[in-house]
């Protein structure tokens, strides 16, 4: 099969998947409108309508994940498979590989400007996969949430607040007794502290400086 024919087949598959998602979303929109109309007439919410609303919300969430994945289905397939199989260490390594492919750089060559240019869509997709398959224990948004709980914000990333980063590391299980743990010392299981994974991506040769740049990017992307 020629490269041109291969790309045509892939494009056709993607178009078919996107069309299918579009039809499903249109049907869900129609059901939502019906539920809202019925609710306005009765002024009450019945158990059956409440159940249906919950089912629709779940379905919409699944469709959103499929939508993010479908345009880059091959890019994220390995990460999704590792997470489904709970191969957390392999998923952690795959996360680094994905981001480096997106930036087209080696990790030691990444600049602050490169970090600022990482597409939010890709960060959201990676985060969504981690959160879904870890039952909201792991993911970039979980890690950012812990940082913000400790008082972190865009200003503290600009200030390069190392004390705050150390406290954050304590919470994530990366920093103990004043020492940053090696990746090989971390717990790659669901017993790990909330937000512990993905971890290897944060282990930059630039230390906390690049950590702050990436946290700033997550904040800018509204993760």
pLDDT attached to residue 1 = 47
pTM: 0.69
Whether residue 122 is found in the same domain as residue 201: yes
Whether residue 21 is found in the same domain as residue 78: no
Rounded Cα distance, 208 and 164, in Å: 10
Q: What are the pLDDT digits (tens) for 121-136?
A: 899 989 999 999 999 9
Rounded Cα distance, 199 and 162, in Å: 18
Whether residue 57 is found in the same domain as residue 12: yes
Whether residue 39 is found in the same domain as residue 140: no
Rounded Cα distance, 166 and 202, in Å: 13
Q: What are the pLDDT digits (tens) for 199-221?
A: 988 877 666 778 999 999 999 99
Domain count, the chain: 2
Whether residue 55 is found in the same domain as residue 89: no
Q: What are the pLDDT digits (tens) for 170-191?
A: 999 999 988 999 988 999 999 9
Q: Enter the tokens of residue 114.
A: 């490169």
> Can you give the residue range of the structural domain that contains 30?
3-70
The domain boundary residue, chosen from 70, 98, 121: 70
Query: What are the residues facing 171 on neighbouring strands?
Result: none
Whether residue 102 is found in the same domain as residue 179: yes
Q: Please say if the pLDDT value at position 3 is more than 70.
A: no
Whether residue 30 is found in the same domain as residue 101: no
| Nearby residues of 156 by Cβ (< 8 Å), 6 or more positions away | 164, 212
């Amino acid at each position: 099969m020629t490269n041109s024919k291969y790309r045509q087949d892939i494009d056709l598959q993607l178009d078919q998947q996107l069309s299918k998602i579009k039809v499903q979303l249109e049907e869900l929109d129609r059901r939502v409108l019906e539920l809202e109309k019925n609710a306005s007439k009765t002024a009450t919410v019945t158990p059956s309508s409440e159940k249906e609303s919950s089912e629709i919300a779940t379905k919409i969430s699944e469709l959103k994940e499929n939508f993010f994945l479908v345009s880059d289905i091959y890019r994220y397939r390995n990460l999704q498979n590792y997470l489904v199989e709970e191969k957390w260490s392999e998923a952690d390594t795959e996360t680094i590989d994905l981001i480096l492919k997106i930036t087209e750089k080696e990790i030691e060559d990444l600049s602050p400007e490169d970090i600022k240019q990482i597409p939010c869509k890709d960060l959201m997709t990676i985060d969504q996969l981690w959160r879904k398959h870890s039952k909201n224990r792991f993911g970039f948004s979980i890690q950012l949430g812990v940082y913000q709980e400790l008082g972190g914000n865009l200003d503290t990333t600009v200030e390069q607040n190392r004390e705050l980063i150390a406290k954050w590391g304590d919470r994530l299980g990366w920093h103990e007794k004043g020492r940053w743990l090696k990746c090989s010392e971390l717990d790659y299981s669901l017993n790990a502290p909330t937000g512990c994974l993905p971890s290897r991506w944060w282990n930059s040769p630039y230390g906390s400086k690049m950590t702050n740049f990436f946290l700033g990017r997550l904040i800018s992307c509204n993760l």
